[in-house]
A and B are shown apart, each in its own frame.
Chain A
């Protein structure tokens, strides 16, 4: 608790220090704001002063509404809380309704920004741009990994290569002492136990990242199952949500499933070590997740894929999550607010991301993301 308070204080301190440098800002708006707030208490007046970073808006206030992916929701909630604490006039609402719902609401413009674990498809973008008259921008915020968790008491580490992983989730490798698994794990005594595959029963960006990886590495998977937020699973049982899958794996010996990295770290279940494209076995962690963004060429629209990355230390099943924003918004105040919040998230907010087990963007990617944020404006 104290640490959080301390962090908040530090962030505020850094914030006001960085603003101090901008003292020669045009102050017409600032002056009016200050006179209008003289009746209020001292600290509020100071805060309204420190919050005027970019020249146009003297004081940040207003409401932003966003909706979408559930994967980054815990982080967004923290980012919003911190930001609102620094700017008392600001209210940001975020509803974790799922990536699909986020894209839909963003397209219908019932929210100011959307959020999705999968980039929008071309036709989705076309529909949104037609409805809004503005350009759709994908702004990556953090990266996440999908960990393959299993429940085998007494087994320290399980190594899997792409073919074995696909084989298990295809339902073709059905026992833990299968020769394919044994040859990947020399010296490990794998039990003669049926493998219980656990997948998501609800539509999910996690499933999209996981099946996207399997589609890339296994021709058989690509042909028979494919990639999507929900697919027709050839084997296994379904759990609702990351916690549903983690709970089933926790309860059933012999079970194997996939969850977001943070759930794997928090549940304390063992996660499989996977062979990456460079041929190295890599355990899922924040570092190996960030390593997936090294040496990748990013497209101009930032609709990239980090799955099965070439990076030598990269964990193979990695995806990013995006905020969806229009480059022109109807309300200039909202545009300023969104710009300020996202800039803060991608700069000062990164330490908070790490605390919550989200992998921050690499420096190169962060620059590209900030360039997109800078384009947000109004009609």
Chain B
């Protein structure tokens, strides 16, 4: 029979070991991140110094003449991600609210499971499906329609192309929806039932209860979920490469072809040599910085929302 003291004595020596292991894992992650950042930056340094600020302010990308300006790609990454979020956020919130508040119990499991499954589909499949099915069936007709009836607005100016910021944005939205939905559903499920009942007791309808209790309670979590979705949209490579049209240009119209940072790297690194490949690594560094900036904004938002 063991007494208490021997038990603690037995377990205490293992504590420093596990703590050390945990600390080591943490340090390794930091080291890998730092190493990536340093090695990519140093690889790209000659191009950074030869191009100067024009690396991010010029939109002329001409490897043959050694001119590397990435503005068009930064613009394309930002625009496609913004389109994706504009479509995905309302839809995802709708699906999540439906699943947590409205759906009959027998439906929640299967639909929730299907949403989670969609989040796990590889992006190349979304891209291929987008090009072969969605492009002729929806993207091109939708682009034609928008240009015909809303073409007077600069953002819908023609001639419309299915392979465009819009086309890439729509497919990105479809990829991002399951992620945001899945997280939001979990967040809404954590809202205590007591508070829901309290709202009903005060005479709230179901929608009023959702607005007064569920959404405010989950706000910080929802922002986090959206930011995670945005992270995926910003870094998505192959689906965007297949759908954005790969034209190095900055166009106000979302129905025109463009280019994104990740798509550029995927398209060009294979046959790149010399300064060209350094410039592509530099694009990676810019994308890295862009993602960090977005994450910081997200943390700031979460922090602000969390304040009473």
Taking Cβ atoms with an 8 Å cutoff, the residues of A that contact B are: 97-101, 104, 194, 196, 201-204, 226, 228-233, 236-240, 244, 247-248, 251-252
Contacts and interface: CB of A to CB of B under 8 A. Distances in A.
16 contacts: A97-B270, A98-B271, A104-B273, A201-B246, A203-B270, A204-B271, A228-B64, A230-B64, A230-B271, A231-B62, A231-B64, A232-B248, A236-B257, A238-B245, A238-B267, A240-B246
Nearest to A229: B271
A236 B158 CA distance: 13
A152 B215 CA distance: 53
B247 A226 contact: no
A239 B271 contact: no
A252 B135 CA distance: 10
Contacts of A237: 161, 163, 245-247, 257
Residue from A226, A236, A237, A251 with most neighbouring chain B CB atoms (10 Å): A237
B183 interface: no
B125 to A, nearest CB: 16
Nearest to B64: A228
Contacts of A232: 60-62, 64, 248
Interface residues of B, number: 31
Contact of A202 (B131, B248, B259, B268): B268
A349 B206 CA distance: 76
Top 8 nearest A-B pairs (CB, nearest first) are A238-B246, A201-B246, A203-B271, A100-B271, A237-B245, A237-B257, A194-B159, A98-B271
B136 interface: yes
B63 interface: yes
B212 interface: no
Interface string B81-110: 000000000000000000000000000000
Interface string B51-67: 00000000011111100
Nearest to A231: B64
A98 B161 contact: no
B135 A251 contact: yes
Interface in B157-210: 158-159, 161-163
Given A196-B159, A232-B248, A252-B162, A100 B131 contact: no
Nearest to A244: B242
A236 B271 contact: no
A99 B271 contact: yes
Contacts of A202: 267-268, 270-271
A228 B268 CA distance: 13
B262 interface: no
A196 B64 contact: no
B164 to A, nearest CB: 8
Nearest to A124: B273
Contact of B268 (A230, A239, A251): A230
Interface of B: 60-65, 131-132, 135-136, 140, 158-159, 161-163, 241-242, 245-248, 257, 259, 263, 267-268, 270-273
Contacts of A238: 245-247, 257, 259, 267
A247 B268 contact: no
Contacts of B245: 237-238
A161 B241 CA distance: 32
Nearest to A227: B64
A244 B246 CA distance: 11
Given A203-B268, A232-B248, A238-B247, 19 more contacts: A98-B270, A101-B270, A104-B273, A196-B161, A202-B270, A203-B267, A203-B271, A203-B272, A228-B64, A229-B271, A230-B268, A230-B271, A236-B247, A238-B257, A240-B246, A244-B242, A247-B132, A248-B163, A251-B140
A230 B259 CA distance: 15
B272 A100 contact: yes
B268 to A, nearest CB: 6
A232 B268 CA distance: 13
Contacts of A239: 246
A52 B152 CA distance: 75
Contacts of B162: 251-252
Nearest to A104: B273
Nearest to A193: B159
Contact of B131 (A97, A104, A229, A247): A247
A248 B63 CA distance: 25
A237 B159 CA distance: 12
B76 to A, nearest CB: 12
A196 B248 CA distance: 15
A333 to B, nearest CB: 31
A346 B15 CA distance: 72
Contacts of B163: 237, 248
Nearest to B242: A240
A221 to B, nearest CB: 13
Contacts of B246: 201, 237-240
Contacts of A98: 270-271
Contacts of A231: 62, 64
B63 A230 contact: yes
Nearest to B159: A194
Contacts of A194: 158-159
B130 to A, nearest CB: 12
A194 B161 CA distance: 11
A226 B64 contact: yes
A248 B163 CA distance: 9
Contact of B140 (A99, A203, A247, A252): A252
Contacts of A100: 270-273
Contacts of B136: 251
Contacts of B272: 100, 203
B159 A101 contact: no
Residue from B132, B158, B161, B246 with most neighbouring chain A CB atoms (10 Å): B246
Contacts of B61: 232
Contacts of B65: 226
B28 to A, nearest CB: 32
A202 B140 CA distance: 23
A240 B159 contact: no
Contacts of B247: 233, 236-238
Nearest to B60: A232
Nearest to A100: B271
